[in-house]
Amino acid sequence: MSTAIMASKKQRNRKVNPIVQAILEEYQPQTAEDMQEAIKDIFGPMFEAMLQGEMEHHLGYEVNEHGCKNTDNRRNGYSQKNIKTSYGEIPIDVPRDRQATFEPQVIPKRTRDVSGIEDKVLSMYARGMSQRDIAETIEDIYGFEISHETISTITDRVMETAEEWQNRPLKKFYTFLFVDCLYVSIRKDMETKNCAVYVILGYDVNGIKDILGLWIGETEGKHYWMQIFDEIKARGVEDVLFISMDGVSGLEEGAKSIFKDAVIQRCIVHLIRNSIKYVPSKDYKAYTAQLKKVIWRSKLKAAEAEFERFKQAWNQYPGAIDIWSRNWKYIEQLFQYGSAVRKIMYTTNAIESVNSSFRKVTKKGAFPNENALLKLLYLRITELYKKMERQQGSELGYGQKSACNQQHNDLPICRLFVYKYCFHIWTFDLLLSL
């Protein structure tokens, strides 16, 4: 710390210390609660003093100033106002003028909340707290009541922002898209229905994650997914390198119809879950252990040989073997890329972690309508973005960011850049295996 900064802090402390000492002598607080009450008492006079200063500036003369004045406007008493602060409600006297032209800035007209409570309400709502829980928490912490209608009004204000976010332009090129769906209960036509919430998570060439949008449909199906892919293309996405998904029927055909050059990858974890349904629980550990030897071989030929041994070892469970035989092409294509890429491609864990976060805030019951659901999920996304910003680029290492940024406007070059990265990593892995 520089000498100048240290000197500034010492000077500041010298100025504040007499004020602090006067407060301590006047209120003689014994507990933290006593100190907060003392601060609360001080807030009112401070606000009033600031308002008096604003009034003097507005009129052009001080209180009790005699002599000729440059305005016909005069002071006109006070109006009482209760303001909400982080320390509770505080009554203050707001000065008035005869011409009613005074517009206070420190506490504007019709403003009663200076606590930043709106941000706190939105944060609590984003964490899945009900209106009742939020109201009780605000009263417990800040000492004033907030109605359910006020909470609803505060949270409803994000809908316009949410709509702008849903329709925002997207990047031209994404290296990875992860697509998935979760089901949430919504009340429609006097009955509760499970509706599908479609979610797409994208990685750009720098490894930065972005949730491309939210869509609500009756069920998860091929045609609705095609509409979604068509929409993100209309919002600017021209090319995608990899699309990772679970095994929803028709989803692959829908994706390929919009992004013809994309590599479609089935989630290997989903395949594992589907296959162990045919295996007794006593054999789970041995079954998955041998399966890992197949998936994580460094060379395709070695994986094929291990797969033959796997089929022979577990041929007593033909249902489990059939799942891997029908989906072997998704295992094969993984070996075209390096371990860093394969680690991301083989599972949809990236988007399932997003959906898991959504489930934490949607599990309490049915939503009254789609807007209520979208409002909550959008607020949850804003919380996730904060987390993503702290972790951005940690999962991927696509060379230097400056090099990637130069490729954004040239899709063929950008695609080639990523493929070169994949090739070099694959070559490096091969050398290590020799």
3-state SS, one letter per residue, for 139-167: HHHHCCCCCHHHHHHHHHCHHHHHHHHHC
CATH architecture, range 172-267+347-408? 2-Layer Sandwich (3.30)
Q: What is the three-state SS of the chain? A: CCHHHHHHHHHHHHHHHHHHHHHHHHHCCCCHHHHHHHHHHHHHHHHHHHHHHHHHHHHCCCCCCCCCCCCCCCEEEEEEEEEEECCEEEEEEEEEECCCCCCCCCCCCCCCECCCHHHHHHHHHHCCCCHHHHHHHHHHHHCCCCCHHHHHHHHHCHHHHHHHHHCCCCCCEEEEEEEEEEEEEEEECCEEEEEEEEEEEEECCCCCEEEEEEEEECCCCHHHHHHHHHHHHHCCCCEEEEEEECCCCCHHHHHHHHCCCCEEEECHHHHHHHHHHHCCHHHHHHHHHHHHHHHCCCCHHHHHHHHHHHHHHCCCCHHHHHHHHHCHHHHHHHCCCCHHHHHHHCCCHHHHHHHHHHHHHHCCCCECCHHHHHHHHHHHHHHHHHHHHHHCCCCCCCCCHHHHHCCCCCHHHHHHHHHHHHHHHHHHHHHHHC
Question: 155 is written with which tokens?
Answer: 């949270």
pLDDT top residue among 176 and 431: 176
Distance in angstroms (rounded) separating the CA atoms of residues 29 and 31:
6
What pLDDT is recorded for position 211? 92
What pLDDT is recorded for position 310? 92
Taking CA atoms, 157 is separated from 110, 137, 293, 358, 384, in Å, by: 18, 21, 53, 20, 19
**Looking up tokens 């071989």, which residue turns up?**
297
Q: What angle do CA 293, 294, 296 make, to 5 degrees?
A: 70
Q: At residue 280, does pLDDT exceed 80?
A: yes
What pLDDT is recorded for position 117? 62
Q: What angle do CA 398, 205, 241 make, to 5 degrees?
A: 110
Please classify residue 391 by burial: count the beta carbons closer than 10 Å to its beta carbon, then call 0-12 exposed, 13-18 middle and 19+ buried.
exposed
* pLDDT average, residue stretch 231-239: 92
Distance of CA 183 to the CA centre of its chain: 19
Query: Lowest mean pLDDT: which of 17-21, 46-50, 151-155, 168-172?
Result: 17-21
What pLDDT is recorded for position 14? 53
What pLDDT is recorded for position 405? 41
The length of the chain is 434
* pLDDT average, residue stretch 311-318: 92
Indicate the average pLDDT of the chain. 76
**Quick check: 209 and 237 in contact, CB under 8 A?**
no
**Quick check: 115 and 86 in contact, CB under 8 A?**
yes
Q: At residue 24, does pLDDT exceed 90?
A: no
Q: What is the pLDDT of residues 289-306, one digit of tens each?
A: 998 888 888 788 998 999
**Quick check: 357 and 380 in contact, CB under 8 A?**
yes
What pLDDT is recorded for position 399? 36
**Quick check: 334 and 270 in contact, CB under 8 A?**
no
Query: Residue ranges per domain, the chain?
Result: 1-27, 31-109, 172-267+347-408
Q: At residue 11, does pLDDT exceed 60?
A: no
Distance in angstroms (rounded) separating the CA atoms of residues 366 and 186:
5
What pLDDT is recorded for position 263? 87
Predicted confidence band of residue 396 (pLDDT cuts 50, 70, 90): very low
Question: 348 is written with which tokens?
Answer: 């949809």
**Quick check: 399 and 421 in contact, CB under 8 A?**
yes
What pLDDT is recorded for position 34? 73
Query: Lowest mean pLDDT: which of 209-218, 393-402, 412-421?
Result: 393-402
Q: At residue 393, does pLDDT exceed 80?
A: no
Question: 419 is written with which tokens?
Answer: 């493929």
Question: 269 is written with which tokens?
Answer: 């974890």
Q: At residue 398, does pLDDT exceed 70?
A: no
* pLDDT average, residue stretch 273-289: 91
Predicted confidence band of residue 180 (pLDDT cuts 50, 70, 90): confident
* pLDDT average, residue stretch 318-327: 91
Predicted confidence band of residue 403 (pLDDT cuts 50, 70, 90): very low
Q: At residue 309, does pLDDT exceed 80?
A: yes
Distance in angstroms (rounded) separating the CA atoms of residues 32 and 245:
54
Distance of CA 148 to the CA centre of its chain: 24
Query: Lowest mean pLDDT: which of 166-170, 213-217, 344-348?
Result: 344-348
Predicted confidence band of residue 231 (pLDDT cuts 50, 70, 90): very high
* pLDDT average, residue stretch 232-257: 83
What pLDDT is recorded for position 9? 44
* pLDDT average, residue stretch 403-428: 47
Question: 235 is written with which tokens?
Answer: 């919002």
From the list 294, 254, 300, the residue with the least C-alpha distance to 271 is 294
Q: State which of 44-53, 95-104, 121-130, 226-235 shows the largest mean pLDDT.
A: 226-235
